[in-house]
Structures are given as C-alpha cells and as structure tokens.
C-alpha cells in the first residue's frame, strides 16, 4: 500500500518519464524477439505519437563471452538507467525464467538491490514463469520487483508457467490496444485491462499462464490533460520559430488555472540501426529516433505558453522529419502532447553558413571511462569551442575554449551512455559526433 500511495501522490515525480515506454528485445531465436519488440513499439507510435519510445535490443550491443558465460554489460547498465530515470511501461520480449530476463540475465533478482528507483514502471514480461507465485520456497523475479519497497515495479503483466512466443506476442499487442483507451474520460484500471486482454484471447491456453501482479484497481500515471501547440509544419533555420499553445481538457477547453512548466523535446528523423549478429545469423535492422535537437523547459502562465526556437544555436545540425514531444506539469497535475509531422528545412544555411569542410579533430579515447581529450589536428588562429550534450539534449559542457591544440575533461562521474559533442570555430566550420562513456 505504501508503494501504491507513493506512486499516486508523490508530487516530486512529475517528469516526462510518465510518457516513456521502454522496449527490450532478446537476441535469441534469430531475430524473433527483437522483431516483436519493434512491432510493439511501432504499434504504440501508431496509436499515438505522444509517447517517448526507448529501444534496448540486446544484439545492438557487444556481447562479452567468458568461457560458457555470455553477458551484455552495456544492456545491463541501460536497463538500470531506465529504471532509475523511470518509464511508464517497460516491456521485455524474449526468454527468461524465475530468476531473470534473457539467457545473459540482463536483469535478475540480484539487480533489485542496486536499482533504488522511485519512478515505478508497469513491467510486462513474457518469458515463461517469470512471476510464478505459488511456490512459497522461491520468490520469483516478478514477485521481487513488485514487493521491493523502494525499487522495482508498481505492477506487472507476467507469466506463471510455460508460455509460447507467438500467442503471447498477440496477447502483448492487445495490452497496448486496450490500455490507452479511455472510458467516460478515464483510463482503465489494470484489472480492467487484463480482463479485456484475456477475453480477446479466450481460446488461447497461454491465457491461464498470464496474470496481473499488482493492484487491479490501480490506473497508471498517464498525463491527465492535453498540450495543444500551434506551430508551422516546417521549422526554418533562417529565423526564430514561434510556437504557441495552451493546456486543455479532452474537450478542448482551456485550463486557465494551470500555471507551471512545459518540457519540450524535439527529436530528429529516425536513424537506421543495424545489430551485430552476436549469436550468428543475420543482423537485425530497425529505425529509432536517436538525435535530440532541442530540449528545454518553458513557463506556462494561466494555461498559455509561447516560445521561440532558434535553429542556428542547436548543437546537432539536421534537416528532414522531426518529432516534437510536450510534457507539462504544475506540481499537482500533468499534460501531454506531440507532433510527429514537423519538417526542419535548410538548417544552418542563413544566419550561420557553416563550411562544408569539417574541423579536423580527434576525440579519444572513445569509448572512455576516465579522461577524454579533444585534439585539433590543424590548429589555426581561430577560436575553437567544445560543447557536450546528453541524449536528452541537456548541456553537460558548454563553449569550453580549446587552447594549445587540445582540451581534456573527465567523464569519471558521467553515467554510462551516449553523449553528443560539437566543435565550432569563428570561421564557421564545425565537427559533431558521439562520445560513448563506458565504465
């Protein structure tokens, strides 16, 4: 009860983790489970663009082999980071069992002691028997994550016995077809969701081995109100782009009592990602929005907001399709909105005309766990500056001057993950790329 009360009443937890859905795909059985995870993510995006999709597919990362043991250290850290940041839903497709998920145990019963997360997700796990609850001599993975007082999940849709991939995948799809639907303006409880899912799969024997662990009267922390923004279909680089909007209810009525903050996240077009085929077979190819163009917090007054985006100052220089995601909060209630039909046109060709020649620079070591050095291979008399951003577009280091051909900084206190850097000079040249931190 304490965990549920905290989940529903903690006023410090408002953030866009409540819009994030994390999909984790196993590397076994060819590419079956990554294909399923990707299909589920596509389904969610089809239902609504307002969710922030995170994809963690095991085969994208380096598999470490030690004798007969295999592991994915980067995947383990990414999952831990997702728990600590928070996700509305975390969905795993693949193999596993009573102890944990995947043959490599990318997260298991030992992980719970290290999580210390308070933004609890609904955990959907479809491997066999991850939440078998009728053996008093053994507390399973699903049980531990539900019962942990200061970590884990708020509830889980999970398995209690042997299940099979194809019918369980169909059941998983139906969860998303149901859970986002409102009835009389209210989202459905988890008990209502699992009832409808089972009824849609009534002839499937897997039904009896799939259950809800958690409070059936609980509703997930979906944002309650709507962010309705007005902006051009194309964002121009040559001038400031003005975006206005308001906080509304489901009927489009302005909520003039709402004064708070709006988180704006703009992501670029989807990148093509090819996995490594660690276990043989063919690589898996999928698409994911990895580029964060803009991230900022905007004030909302009396339900209204207005802000300018100047593309000239953005750290990542892209054209093409983009997606804007909105999350608003005032300490008591939150709101959500999105637009995935935005186009960015001719970025950085007007006020700042960057040369087609990149700055000749090296960043090493990359990946790094300690110190990183930026070395200029052709140092002119120009002023060079270096900036670093995390994968949400937030500034980590800004406009650090590079002197004597190089600049060194420490990443010892950085969390593992991908960071984005940009190097510029006053001759309008630039270089940008990724820095990987791996401890």
Strand-pairing partners, residue 93, are 25
Count of Cβ atoms closer than 10 Å to residue 303 Cβ: 21
Lowest-confidence segment of 195-199, 248-252, 359-363 by average pLDDT: 359-363
pLDDT of 350 higher than 50: no
Confidence of residue 313 (pLDDT cuts 50, 70, 90): low
Give the integer Cα–Cα distance in Å for 366 and 146. Answer: 38
Q: How confident is the model at residue 347 (pLDDT cuts 50, 70, 90)?
A: very low
Yes or no: say if 354 and 317 are a contact pair by the CB < 8 Å rule: yes
Task: Give the fold, CATH level 3, of 361-437.
Answer: Immunoglobulin-like (2.60.40)
Domain 223-352 indexed as CATH 3.20.20.70: no
Residue 411 near residue 368, CB atoms below 8 Å:
yes
pLDDT (mean) for 27-42: 95
Show me where the domains of the chain are located. 1-222, 223-352, 361-437
Rounded to whole angstroms, how far apart are CA atoms 197 and 193? 6
- Please report, for residues 230, 252, 262, 264, 305, the alpha-carbon distance to residue 227 in angstroms, rounded to integers and kept in the order given: 10, 10, 9, 11, 10
**pLDDT digit string, tens, across residues 399-433:** 677 777 888 999 988 887 778 788 888 776 777 77
- State residue 219's pLDDT score: 97
Distance CA 213, CA 152 (A): 13
| pLDDT tens profile 94-108 | 998 888 999 999 999
pLDDT on residue 238? 60
- Mean pLDDT value across residues 250-278: 94
Long-range contacts of 434-437 (CB under 8 A, 24+ apart): 434/366, 435/363, 435/366, 435/368, 435/372, 435/388, 435/411, 436/366, 436/367, 436/368, 437/367, 437/368, 437/369, 437/411
- Span 41-87, pLDDT tens digits: 999 999 999 999 999 999 999 999 988 889 999 999 999 999 999 99
- Per cent of the chain over pLDDT 90 is 53
Average pLDDT over every residue of 261-272: 91
Q: What is the pLDDT of residue 39?
A: 97
What's the pLDDT score for residue 431?
78
Higher-pLDDT residue of 91, 149: 91
Backbone angles phi, psi at 79, to 5 degrees: -65, -40
Nearest to 399 by CA among 380, 421, 416: 421
Q: In whole angstroms, give the CA distance from residue 362 to residue 343.
A: 32
Task: Say whether 361-437 and 223-352 share the same fold.
Answer: yes
Model confidence band, residue 176 (pLDDT cutoffs 50, 70, 90): very high
pLDDT on residue 351: 34
Whether the pLDDT of residue 360 is over 90: the answer is no
The per-residue pLDDT for 67 is: 84
Local confidence band at 120 (pLDDT 50, 70, 90 cut-offs)? very high
pLDDT in tens, 221-255: 999 999 999 877 778 766 678 899 999 999 999 99
Mean pLDDT taken over the chain = 88
Q: Would you state the pLDDT for residue 416? A: 77
Cα 16 from chain centroid?
Answer: 10
Strand partners, 159: 210
**Any idea which fold 1-222 has?**
Rossmann fold (3.40.50)
> Which of 352 and 208 is assigned the larger pLDDT?
208
The more confident residue out of 378 and 55 is 55
pLDDT band at 349 (very low <50, low <70, confident <90, very high): very low
How much is the average pLDDT of 32-40? Answer: 97
Return the closest-CA partner of residue 59 out of 106, 33, 22, 27. 27
**Confidence class for position 305, pLDDT limits 50, 70, 90:** very high
Return the biggest CA–CA distance within the chain: 74
């Amino acid at each position: 009860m304490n965990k549920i009360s905290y989940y529903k009443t903690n006023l410090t937890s408002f953030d866009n983790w409540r819009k994030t859905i994390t999909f984790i795909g196993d590397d076994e059985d060819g590419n079956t489970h990554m294909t399923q995870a990707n299909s589920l993510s596509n389904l969610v995006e089809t239902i609504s663009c307002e969710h922030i999709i995170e994809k963690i597919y095991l085969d994208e990362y380096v598999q470490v082999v030690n004798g007969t043991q295999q592991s994915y250290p980067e995947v383990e850290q990414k999952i831990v980071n997702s728990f600590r940041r928070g996700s509305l839903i975390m969905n795993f497709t693949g193999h596993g069992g009573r102890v944990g998920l995947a043959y490599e145990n990318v997260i298991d019963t030992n992980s719970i002691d290290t999580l210390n997360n308070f933004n609890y997700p609904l955990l959907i796990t479809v491997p066999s028997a991850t939440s078998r609850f009728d053996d008093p001599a053994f507390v399973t993975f699903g049980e531990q994550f539900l019962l942990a007082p200061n970590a884990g999940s708020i509830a889980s849709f999970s398995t209690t016995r042997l299940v099979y991939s194809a019918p369980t995948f169909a059941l998983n799809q139906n969860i998303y077809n149901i859970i986002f639907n409102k009835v009389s303006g209210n989202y459905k409880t988890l008990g209502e969701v699992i009832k409808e899912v089972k009824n849609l799969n009534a002839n499937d024997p897997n039904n009896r081995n799939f259950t809800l662990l958690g409070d059936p009267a609980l509703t997930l922390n979906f944002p309650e109100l709507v962010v309705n923004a007005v902006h051009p279909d194309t964002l121009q680089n040559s001038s400031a782009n003005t975006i206005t909007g308001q906080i509304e209810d489901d009927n489009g009525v302005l909520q003039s009592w709402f004064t708070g903050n709006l988180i704006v996240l703009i992501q670029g077009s989807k990148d093509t990602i090819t996995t490594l085929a660690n276990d043989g077979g063919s690589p898996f190819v999928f698409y994911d929005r990895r580029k964060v163009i803009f991230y900022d917090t905007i004030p909302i007054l009396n339900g209204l907001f207005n802000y300018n985006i100047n593309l000239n100052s953005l750290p990542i220089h892209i054209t093409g399709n983009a997606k804007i995601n909105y999350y608003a909060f005032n300490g008591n209630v939150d709101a959500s909105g999105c637009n995935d039909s935005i186009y960015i046109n001719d970025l950085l060709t007007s006020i700042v005309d960057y040369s087609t020649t990149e700055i000749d620079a090296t960043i090493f070591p990359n990946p790094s766990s300690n110190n990183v050095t930026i070395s200029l291979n052709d140092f002119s008399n120009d002023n060079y500056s270096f900036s670093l951003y995390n994968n949400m577009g937030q500034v980590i280091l800004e406009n650090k001057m590079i002197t004597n051909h190089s600049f060194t900084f420490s990443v010892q206190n950085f969390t593992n993950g991908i960071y984005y850097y940009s190097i510029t000079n006053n001759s309008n040249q630039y270089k940008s790329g990724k820095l990987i931190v791996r401890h």
